[in-house]
Amino acid sequence: MLRFIATRCLGLIAILFSVVTITFFLVRLMPGGPFDRERKLPEHIEKQLLAKYKLDGPLPEQYINYLGDLVHGDLRLSTKYRSRSVNEILADSLPVSGLLGGIAFCVATMGGVLLGSLAAAKQHTWIDRTAMLAALFAISLPSFVIGPLLVLVFAIYVPVLPVGGWGTVQSLILPSITLAAPYVAYIARLTRASMLEVLTQDYVRTARAKGLSENTVIYKHALRVAILPVVSFLGPLAANLLTGSIVVESIFSIPGAGSFFVNSVLNRDGFLLAGVVIVYCTLLVLFNLIVDVLYGFLDRRITLYD
C-alpha cells in the first residue's frame, strides 16, 4: 500500500511538472502580450512592468525562475488584477467553488446511487422507466437551461429561495442542484447498468437463497461490487465539481474561481491561468489516487501492487 502511494505521488510530481511546463510555454508562445490590450505604453514603462512581473529576459531563464517560485509556493502576481497575487485570488475564490462543488458532489453521488439502485431493483416497472426518463432529461438539458428554470419556479413563481447571491444556506440550494443534476443522471445510469449485471451473479442468488431480504441483498451485498464503476467516475467528477462551474457561478452570481479561469485566458494572464490549472490537475490526480485506494477496500480481489 505504502509503496503504491509513494509511486503515485512521484507520478503526481511528474504530471504537475509536465502541466506547468506545457502551460508556461503555450502562454508565452501565443502572439501578443499581457499588456497589449491597454493603451500604448511608453517603452520605459513597459520595460518596468515586464521586470516587475518577471517577464523580461530570455524564455528559458523566465521558465527556470518560475519553477523556483513554484517550489516556494509563490504563484506570482496576476497581470490583470495587479494589486493581487494569484495566491490571494485562489485563496478567496477556491473555497467558494469548493463548497458549492462539495455539496453538488454529495447530491450527485447519493442521489445517483440511490436512483440507479432503485431502478435496477424495480427493473421494467414504472419506477425504472420514470427514473431513467428523468435521467435522460437531466443529461439532455444543459446547466444554462436547468438553472434559469429552477430560478423561474422556486425564486419567482414560488418565491421560497433566493434568485442568486452568496452567504446563506438558502443561496446554496439552487446552484448545487443545477450543478449536480446532470451528474445525478450519469451516476444513476451507471449504477443501474452495473447493478443489473451484479444481480445475476452466483453470490447474489446464494444470498437470496439464504432468505435475506431484498434490501439487504441489494444494498449490502450487490451494491458493494456494483458501485466500483461509479467510484472510478467519482475521481474526475470530484475534481471537476470542486473547481467550480463558470456557467452555474455566472447564473447565480457566485464569486467562485470559474470566472477567474475564463478571464485569465481572455486576458492572457499567464500566472493566474497556470495557478488554476495546477490546482485542477493536483485535485484530479489526488482524487484518482483516492479512488484507486478505495478500490482495494471495496473489492479485495483488486490489489494495489505492481
Which residue in this structure is represented by grid cell 501565443?
30
Listed in sequence order, the residues at least 6 apart from 85 whose beta carbon sits closer than 8 Å to its beta carbon are 74, 75, 76, 77, 78
Question: Within a domain: residue 153?
Answer: yes
Listed in sequence order, the residues at least 6 apart from 238 whose beta carbon sits closer than 8 Å to its beta carbon are 101, 105, 283, 287
Question: Within a domain: residue 222?
Answer: yes
Q: State how far the alpha carbon of 259 is from the alpha carbons of 111, 168, 263, 272, in Å.
A: 28, 21, 6, 11
Question: Within a domain: residue 128?
Answer: yes
The predicted structure's pLDDT at residue 55 = 81
Question: Within a domain: residue 85?
Answer: no
Q: Are 98 and 255 in contact (CB under 8 A)?
A: no
The predicted structure's pLDDT at residue 178 = 92
Residue 190's φ and ψ, nearest 5 degrees, are -65, -45
Question: Within a domain: residue 36?
Answer: no
Amino acid at 240: N
Chain length of the chain: 306
- 187: its cell numbers: 451516476
Query: How far is residue 58's CA from residue 63's CA, in Å, rounded to a whole number?
Result: 9
- 183: its cell numbers: 451528474
Three-class DSSP labels, the chain: CHHHHHHHHHHHHHHHHHHHHHHHHHHHHCCCCCCCCCCCCCHHHHHHHHHHCCCCCCHHHHHHHHHHHHHCCCCCECCCCCCCEHHHHHHHHHHHHHHHHHHHHHHHHHHHHHHHHHHHHCCCCHHHHHHHHHHHHHHHCCHHHHHHHHHHHHHHHCCCCCCCCCCCCHHHHHHHHHHHHHHHHHHHHHHHHHHHHHCCCHHHHHHHHCCCCHHHHHHHHHHHHHCHHHHHHHHHHHHHHHCCCHHHHHHCCCCCCHHHHHHHHHCCCHHHHHHHHHHHHHHHHHHHHHHHHHHHHHCCCCCCCC
Which residues of the chain are modeled with pLDDT < 70?
1, 4, 32-41, 243-244, 295-306
- 251: its cell numbers: 447564473
- 287: its cell numbers: 482524487
The enclosing domain of 109 has a CATH number of 1.10.3720.10
For residue 85, list its beta bridge partners: 77
The predicted structure's pLDDT at residue 235 = 77
For residue 77, list its beta bridge partners: 85
Query: How far is residue 39's CA from residue 295's CA, in Å, rounded to a whole number?
Result: 56
The total number of structural domains in the chain stands at 1
The predicted structure's pLDDT at residue 8 = 73
Question: Within a domain: residue 252?
Answer: yes
Cα dihedral value 30, 36, 42, 47, nearest 10: -40
- 135: its cell numbers: 435521467
| Domain that includes residue 221, residue range | 92-298
To the question of pTM greater than 0.85 for the whole model, the response is no
Question: Within a domain: residue 27?
Answer: no
Question: Within a domain: residue 51?
Answer: no
